[in-house]
Structure 1
């Protein structure tokens, strides 16, 4: 039985819902181009690039990106896993299926975000969002084969969709065992350790800017 107090358990449930709302608010504010609402979802001292911090710098970067790369966008949020480090810090994984109008092409994308969340002045915000892309391609071109990131006017390149989790490479590197032998099965991850168990000590991948 959990040793948490009733107040702590209620706070945990309310925090989960508030964090889930962050992902939906991120998508809506981005697609509707409400940049003040958008950057307000991030920590006040959010890091932008290597040397800049703050919501004003983030707003300038998002504004430039949206004006010069996309006419319109639509972000569709999928499953969302949230695990707590402590009462005011959490991590999460969010799937996202996106559409982009970019010049003469309609680019579809599959990706996930690795998120770091923090409660600042009583509100949950993004401390960091790490976008990991699987594919991006025009609606009329299927993204089979290598180099699945295929933006108009750019050379194709590989995304980092699987790079956070070592199980992907391990699965393909190890041949299937004898079907007559049952495989070993690890114990389930402890509570709040599912993502950490899957990720292990894998460092964050380097993300190419679109």
Structure 2
């Protein structure tokens, strides 16, 4: 059966949407590292949350300015593994790995994390609806983060990150002593790989930005 014009247009839109979202992700890194906070704010939806009790792009820009100025002399964000799934004509979710470097006073802090993203198309352009950071480790470049409480920022007590919190398979893997018993699970439906891996796992208490 040949594809209809509508089918072709929908497929093209999916391809173009994924490409635009990948560009959005990379633009985030460049705008943040170059401290172009107007460019950064414009990557988010107009009613983006800024802290606990404010919203809007201007408020977000000002909140980010204060946050970055207080904590970092310089940063570099390196995007890695990326999965983007369209959940509707104008909505999508994504998992994005990021390896980051931070100059913070006398220490050089390296970090491994992922973002759990929600994207929304507004006036024909894809934007971040929110980015939920999930951290594995942060430590001075010369201090490997071996052991527990891998988040080790200067001037703070070490604490656990949330790198594995979104996916129950991590804990299940270490809770059992060998391979999973029984038949292998069915493959995830198209555009539902992330949500299938989540299996309804919530992230209460994890900061959203």
Q: TM-score range by the shorter chain?
A: over 0.9
Aligned to 1:111: 113
Q: Which residue of 2 aligns with 1:198?
A: 197
Deviation, structure 1 residue 60: 1.1
User: Is there any run of 5+ residues in structure 2 with no aligned partner, and where?
Assistant: none
Tell me how large the CA RMSD over aligned residues is: 1.7
Q: Does the 8 Å contact 2:133/2:207 carry over to 1?
A: no
Summarize deviations over 1:116-166 as a string: whole Å, max 9, x none.
000000000000000000000000000010000000000100000000000
Q: Which whole-Å CA distance do the structure 1 matches of 2:186 and 2:207 have between them?
A: 36
User: How far has the Cα of 1:206 moved from its partner?
Assistant: 2.5
SS in 2 for 1:15: helix
| Preserved CA contact (<8 Å) 1:163 1:205 | no
Q: CA deviation at 1:208?
A: 5.6
Residue pair 1:177, 1:183 contacting (<8 A) in 2 also: no
Structure 2 partner of 1:120: 122
TM-score with structure 1 setting the length: 0.93
| Distance of 1:41 and 1:106 partners within structure 2 | 28
Partner of residue 24, structure 1: 26
Whole-angstrom distance in 1 between the partners of 2:203 and 2:50? 16
- Residue 99 of structure 1: how far off its partner (Å): 0.1
In the alignment, structure 1 segments of 5+ residues that lack a partner are none
**Partner SS state of residue 204, structure 1:** coil
> What SS is found at the alignment partner of 1:112?
strand
Aligned partner of 2:92 in structure 1 is: 90
Matched residue, 2:41: 39
Pairing 1:1-150 to 2, within 5 Å after superposition: 5-150=7-152
What SS does the corresponding residue of 1:187 show, helix, strand or coil? coil
Off by >3 Å, runs of 4+ in structure 1:
1-4
- Deviation per CA, 1:6-33: give whole Å up to 9, x if none: 0111011000000000110000000000
Matches within 5 A, 1:142-181: 142-177=144-179
In structure 2, what is the Cα distance between the partners aligned to 1:177 and 1:141? 34
Which segment drifts farther, 189-198 or 49-58? 49-58
Shift of 1:177: 4.4
Q: How many residues align?
A: 206
